[in-house]
Structure 1
Amino acid sequence: MERIIEDVREDLSRRIAVAAHRLADLTLAEDPAYAALLGRAELRERIHHNLRQAVEGLVRGSRGLPVDLADARATGTLRAEQGLPLASLLHTYRRGGRLLWQTLTETVAAHDRAALPRLLPSATLLWDVLDQMTDAVTDSYRRTEAARTDLDRERRAALLDILLDGAAATDGPAASEAAAQLGLPERGRFAVVVVAGTGAAGSTSERAGTPGSAPRVLWRIRADGECGLVELGHHPLESVRELLAPLGARAGVSPVVGAPAELAGARRLAALALRTAPGSGGPRTALLDEGLPAALVAAQGELAARLRQVVLGPVLALPAEDRRTLLTTLGTWLTCQGSTTYAAQRLYCHRNTVSNRLRRLEQLTGRSLADPRHVVELALAHAAVYQLAAADPATPPCPPTPAGTARRSPRPPG
């Protein structure tokens, strides 16, 4: 093989140069990715160099020497950094291999057609050389691409932190600049989601359905759970609940804000909303504005503890079964907007049973359910007991208010 190539080297070099011209023109005409990245002269020179490298690899292989793959690896790294699709790069490499074999056989035939049979066994060696070059290009490309992906992920996380924490480094971008780099508008409709635990929603990946079918969400894993920056667009805030439902995790959702600079405050409100989300039964996603009284209790831990003791202390001192019965009845009655009839239906008991339980609760607490101020105190104290039980499994349980949409009583509660 080496002798054959040496005999035709000058003519082969000339023909390879012509082949490089043809392949460069064909590539630029058929592949927009290459056309957008390289000029004709640069691409032709690169192809010409690769073809010569393949010929030298064939010669080295015939001597039992390893193929020099440094240029192939450098090419893979460079094209990955430039953003050329790997499919485009490999297609040109494979096409170049076929063109090289065609050029080699034509050159040998023109020099000495009788030498062609001696060339054929070299086909396997040539394809082995080309496979090694292609593998080197692919491996280098993927390594570089993976490193770029990791870097992009870290950069994206840092930008999200600027928005969600509201404190940029002195030499880092401001909130507006961070938002722009994440593709967020200066003004819009945004919200923040905080999900309990990690691994439920993903990392900093962007998740959305078909364009326009769901809000865009940028996820970020944080020490207090996963955060999602939601670009609502025209979608209502309630659509976030549907988006989170498949995760099956407790979550809190902030109110809508209009600018990236307000997202840090929104994150704090979402974390507060999470503390009001039920641990089980019914929707597990809490929208802050749907539970402001419970959020108020969650935000004031010391006062909440005092509220539990002052308002419901006598009830909490009862045996577990009595305590559970009265607290469940109170929560159900509140959910049913003060209707003992609907509360009885929910609790599967007689209306008089509900009335008797509520009367006993009034006696224990010294508060009347006919007094709106007392009802507010009882409702807030009930929320405080539930939140304590949800946060501390060792605390005697207080069942959550039964799920479902409350129905308004057609007559005054009795």
Structure 2
Amino acid sequence: MERIIEEIREDLSRRIAATADRLADRTLAEDPAYAALLGRAELRERIHHNLRQSVEGLVLGVRGLPVELADARATGTVRAEQGLPLASLLRTYRRGGRLVWQALTEAVAAHDPEALPRLLPAAAVLWDVLDQLTDAVADAYRRTEAARSDRDRERRAALLDALLDGAGPPDGPAVSEAAAQLGLPERGRFAVVVLGSGSSGSSGSSGGSRGSADPGGPGRPGTEPAPSGLRVLWRIRADGETGLVELGHHPLDSVRELLGPLGARAGVSPVVETPGHLARARWLAALALRTVPASGGPCTALLDERLPTALVASQAELAGRLRQVVLGPVLALPAEDRRVLLNTLGTWLTCQGSTTYAAQRLYCHRNTVSNRLRRLEQLTGRTLSDPAHVVELALAHAAVLQRAAGEPAAAGPKPAGRAPRRGG
């Protein structure tokens, strides 16, 4: 077999050169990806080299020697870095393999037709060589593509961090560059979502992939729109999972639809109009999340719907003072008395000050609720008929709930002196 190939080497070389011309023309005519990437001369030279490599691999295979695959791997690496589709690359390799066999049989037929039967065993060797070459190309391509994807994710994560952490002045070049590279408009409608720890997560694992940037919907960091039609860039880090939502013309409330399938505790910022204000939006979203009880199950908290509670959450020291000054005597009661009065106050506030509705929710008589509320007034020195006192009680109650959510194992506050009665 090797002797036959050696005898036709000069003719085969001419045929391979002509085959390279035909394959280059066909590839450029039929494959826009190649046409956009390479000129004819460069493509023809590369095809010619690959065809010769196939013939050399055949000779080595006939001798029982390993095929040299380094060049095929280099080709796969280069084409992946250039962005040529893998399907285009493999299609050209396979076409080249068929044309090599055609050129080989034609050369043998022209040299000695009676030698053709002796060529048949070479077919299996050639197909094995071609399989090795295409496998090497594909493997190198996929490895390079995976590495490039990792680099892209890391770069996008860094860009997203620059926006969410505030890399510089809101109108500075770093913010503008990060927004541009992430495909965000200079002006638009944006919001930030912060998920609570223990949530199921948006991408099923960010960031993060987890730990990276996921420009997708709740499925996973792609650019597919979320189910609601919103575009979301997810970022998952050790300190939690954050989503940058490009709202477009959608209302802010549509974020609930986005987060619903996640079964998550989430805080949502108000709408901001420029990427430079996303760092502030992230802080506000985290603040909104702090208004959601850790044990209350899935909940999406829009900051603008929870401003009083968020105000308490943002000032830990003042919140502690508020608890003691307004509700200190109640908190000093035995555990069951304390629980009953605080639960009654919270229910009465939820029912917009209706004793009747509060009684229905608490499964007790209306007079029972009234008696509890009167006792609360006596202990706190606040009256529920005074709007200013109601505000104080509502904020103090929110402070108690937030402390309970943040410190589930903590003992009740130390007894405090009864606050002086104010007003009627």
TM-score, structure 2 normalization: 0.89
2:189 matched to which residue of 1? 189
Secondary structure, in 3 states, of the residue corresponding to 2:236? strand
* Alpha carbons 2:195, 2:289 under 8 Å: kept: yes
- CA–CA separation in structure 2 for the residues paired with 1:4 and 1:347: 98
* Alpha carbons 1:163, 1:261 under 8 Å: kept: yes
- Pick aligned residue for 1:286 from 290, 301, 316: 301
Unaligned 5+ runs, structure 2: 207-212, 218-223, 414-424
- Pick aligned residue for 1:214 from 229, 232, 238: 229
1:308 matched to which residue of 2? 323
1:159 matched to which residue of 2? 159
* Alpha carbons 2:265, 2:289 under 8 Å: kept: yes
1:405 matched to which residue of 2? none
Deviations 1:55-90 (A, max 9, x none): 001101111211111110110010001001111111
Secondary structure, in 3 states, of the residue corresponding to 2:376? helix
Letter in 1 for 2:4: I
Secondary structure, in 3 states, of the residue corresponding to 1:349? coil
Within-5 A mapping of 1:223-238:
223-238=238-253
2:361 matched to which residue of 1? 346
1:141 matched to which residue of 2? 141
1:385 matched to which residue of 2? 400
Indicate the larger mover: 334-343 or 177-186: 334-343
1:268 matched to which residue of 2? 283
Within-5 A mapping of 1:5-404:
5-168=5-168, 174-197=174-197, 200-202=201-203, 203=206, 204-208=213-217, 210=225, 213-281=228-296, 284-395=299-410
Letter in 1 for 2:306: G
- CA–CA separation in structure 2 for the residues paired with 1:211 and 1:281: 26
Deviations 1:93-136 (A, max 9, x none): 11211121122112212211111111111111111111111111
Secondary structure, in 3 states, of the residue corresponding to 2:8? helix
- CA–CA separation in structure 2 for the residues paired with 1:93 and 1:179: 40
Letter in 1 for 2:353: G
Letter in 2 for 1:377: E
Change (3 A) 1:286 1:213: closer
- CA–CA separation in structure 1 for the residues paired with 2:365 and 2:124: 89
Query: Percent of counterpart pairs with the same letter?
Result: 80
- CA–CA separation in structure 2 for the residues paired with 1:73 and 1:279: 53
Letter in 1 for 2:202: A
* Alpha carbons 2:226, 2:258 under 8 Å: kept: no
Deviations 1:190-231 (A, max 9, x none): 111111237712301112365894211111123431111111
Letter in 2 for 1:3: R
- CA–CA separation in structure 1 for the residues paired with 2:358 and 2:52: 86
Post-superposition shift, 1:51? 0.6
Post-superposition shift, 1:181? 0.7
* Alpha carbons 2:216, 2:225 under 8 Å: kept: no
Alpha-carbon RMSD across the aligned residues, in angstroms, is 2.0
Deviations 1:245-290 (A, max 9, x none): 2222211111100111111111111111111123344751111111
- CA–CA separation in structure 2 for the residues paired with 1:217 and 1:231: 6
Paired residues, number: 396
- CA–CA separation in structure 2 for the residues paired with 1:284 and 1:314: 32
Letter in 2 for 1:292: L
Deviations 1:324-358 (A, max 9, x none): 22212211111111112222222233322222222
* Alpha carbons 1:389, 1:396 under 8 Å: kept: no
Change (3 A) 1:105 1:48: same
- CA–CA separation in structure 2 for the residues paired with 1:175 and 1:141: 34
Deviations 1:148-187 (A, max 9, x none): 1111111111111111111249xx9510111011000000
TM-score, structure 1 normalization: 0.91
Change (3 A) 1:212 1:382: closer
- CA–CA separation in structure 1 for the residues paired with 2:115 and 2:148: 49
Secondary structure, in 3 states, of the residue corresponding to 1:218? strand
Post-superposition shift, 1:366? 1.6
Letter in 2 for 1:122: A
Letter in 2 for 1:200: G
Q: Check if 1:3 corresponds to 2:30.
A: no
